[in-house]
Amino acid sequence: MSAAFILVALNVHCQQQFNIQNSVPSEFDLSSTSYPKDSTANAFYIYEEGHTEFQEKYDYDLVTKYTAKIKILNKEGLDHANIEIALGKNQSSKERIKNLQAHTYKLENGIRTKYALNPDKVYTEEHEKVDLLKFTFPNVQPGSVLVYSYELVSPFTFNFNTWRFQDYIPKAYSKFTSKIPGNYEYYVTKRGELELKDLKTRVIEECISFSSRSAPAGCLETIYEMENIPAFKSESYLTARRNFMSRIEFELKQITRLDGYVKKFTKSWKDVDNELKDSDIGKQLKKDRLVDELLPESIGSMPNNLEKAKEIYEFVQKNYTWNKEYRIHSDMNLKDILEDHSGNVLAVNTILHNLYDSEGFKVYPVLSSTREMGFASKVHPVLSDFNYFFVQLEVDGKEYLLDATEKNIDFGRLPFRALNHYARKIDFENGSSWIDIFPEGYSQISYSDSLKVHENGTATGNSRQVLTGYHALNFRNGMAQASKNEIFNKVSRPNEQTRAIDSEFENQENPSENLMIHYSLENESQKINDRIYLNPFSFKFFESNPFTLEERNYPIDFGYKDLYNYMVVVEIPENYEVEEMPEQKAIRLPDNGGSLVFSAQRINERTVNVVCRLSFQEPVYPSVFHSGLKEFFNEILQVQTQSLIVLKKIG
């Protein structure tokens, strides 16, 4: 190969790249029809850049200069030509946009064309807490490249601009520069698993002047870069997206004034504990006198042991109803809740707390956030991060986390929405502390089935099922508004060939006991010519594989440890013999993270025993387990659907 040919080939290769150096659309930007890093993308950012600093000309407000270049690949991507810019505000101040420019670039008959946004087409929607500036790019078609820029002027120096590297469409390149005066100190936090391509810092002398009577201050400039950023795609077993979308967050810690005075903007937990003591939450937690005569004598006269603690819990569960609202930071009058027998999560669990406290139990309030809310900051206290409330009770040296808002949950178990890794226990005497939220033990479903196969290929039998933990909770909740037929077909997950002849339930309304289910079963005929094809599983563990993404950059959060046991005894009809048995399997996840064991054995000429055990031994798996779990679920589904016992007629 000649040197000239190699040079030409290299030049062609270099030209076949998106321009990630700046916002100017290249010929390749305009002519390309796909994004190689993600064949499913409908649109993507070719280039994005932001720069945030304090500016004298805007009276030392924070100014963010933003530029983006977006490629529209197909009709499904046209929605990304609709732009919304959130503008924060409070009663006295608001953010504003300056120097907005937007252009649509495209090739028309091979000629590069450019269309400018008409300023009259830009409008602002006003809302209670934030305004939305909106516009749509002109003349957009698949293949168009959209370029826009603006300056966001913000008076809210407490919240330095958060830079979101990751979005719901991919980004080829994203860059953010922060320039912070030396007398401003921010907490800087990187979120998400994606790695930065580069991080550069430098000190700029005499960067900004805050007064004509003082020397200019220096600044710390930090440049963050990231390339080939995948779109954030949601999949099952995900808590709040905000926990994992890659971004850089800033929050003002303190400012050192020119006279040396240090003004702090973030508080310690000691400060917050003192505030909570005097807040509405603290005041309501002290109103034990309102519940002094609330308990029946039969409960109040009991010694302070675990049995009494459970009775108090069940009393609140049965007599007070959660109104489905959180609102833990709103005003609350405990007297009203006691009269109405209904209230938000703070109200119901405050009654629980105060009853325990008035009876002399050792009990603590706990502030937490729900799975949908996201993780509360551990760096420093941010009360707005918390939207939930429950209690911690200590009895006989053991700690119990309790929440009385669910009617169908057992003592010592939190609702699934509260399984968000950790929470803050409030101790007004000794100071608050973090506690972990991971349920002890496994939530289980155990199936014990017996099936008698008949000569016509049908099968009849029984299924006895025992459910504990969150499986019992989910089942009880599903049973609440359902008929027996709906319970069987929707809640129990039978396979396509199975129907219930009769159903019985034990402990349906007693969460302190295991939920027991009994079904009389009938399976449709699976006979073809002289053979019967029997799937021994009358019920499914899972309907489908919850993992469909090629790649996942956030943990798999089941919330609790899981265990399934399935045992089936199959009786074969006379004049038939076993021709084929399903393949045995024994599969383990790495690091002893879980296992699938399946076997089918002939006990005698007319009896086959089938055993399947499935376990997930961790409530949360890191993202590196994603591909393994995906394949693991494929194996589970295959066992459920393809494990056939083939019976052949004799003679």
- Report yes or no on whether pTM surpasses 0.75: yes
Q: Residue 452: pLDDT above 90?
A: yes
- All CATH 3.90.260.10 domain ranges of the chain, comma separated, are 269-437
Q: Residue 188: pLDDT above 60?
A: yes
User: Is CATH 3.40.50.300 the classification given to domain 269-437?
Assistant: no
From CA 476, how far away is CA 481, in angstroms rounded? 10
Q: Residue 209: pLDDT above 60?
A: yes
From CA 421, how far away is CA 418, in angstroms rounded? 9
Tens of pLDDT, residue by residue over 463-476, are: 999 999 999 999 99
Tens of pLDDT, residue by residue over 540-553, are: 999 999 999 999 99
pLDDT category, 447, cuts 50, 70, 90?
very high
| Strand-pair category, 388-395 with 398-402 | antiparallel
pLDDT category, 250, cuts 50, 70, 90?
very high
From CA 148, how far away is CA 69, in angstroms rounded? 7
pLDDT, average across residues 572-595: 94
Q: What whole-number percentage of the chain has pLDDT above 90?
A: 79
- All CATH 2.60.120.1130 domain ranges of the chain, comma separated, are 442-649
pLDDT category, 482, cuts 50, 70, 90?
confident
| CATH architecture group of domain 442-649 | Sandwich (2.60)
Q: What whole-number percentage of the chain has pLDDT above 70?
A: 97
For residues 315 and 295, the answer to whether their CB atoms sit within 8 Å is: yes
pLDDT category, 5, cuts 50, 70, 90?
very low
Tens of pLDDT, residue by residue over 122-177, are: 999 999 889 999 999 999 999 999 999 999 999 988 788 899 999 999 999 999 99
Give me the residues paired with residue 189 across strands.
Answer: 249
- Of 473 and 490, the structure prediction assigns the larger pLDDT to 473
- Of 331 and 613, the structure prediction assigns the larger pLDDT to 613
- All CATH 2.60.40.3140 domain ranges of the chain, comma separated, are 3-263
What are 116-123's contacts with CB under 8 Å, separation 24+? 117/148
Query: What pLDDT score was predicted for residue 1?
Result: 46
pLDDT, average across residues 182-191: 92
CATH number, domain 3-263, options 1.10.3720.10, 2.60.120.10, 2.60.40.3140, 1.50.10.10: 2.60.40.3140
pLDDT, average across residues 381-390: 92
pLDDT, average across residues 203-225: 87
Tens of pLDDT, residue by residue over 40-73, are: 999 999 999 999 999 988 888 999 999 999 999 9
For residues 106 and 141, the answer to whether their CB atoms sit within 8 Å is: yes
Q: Residue 635: pLDDT above 50?
A: yes
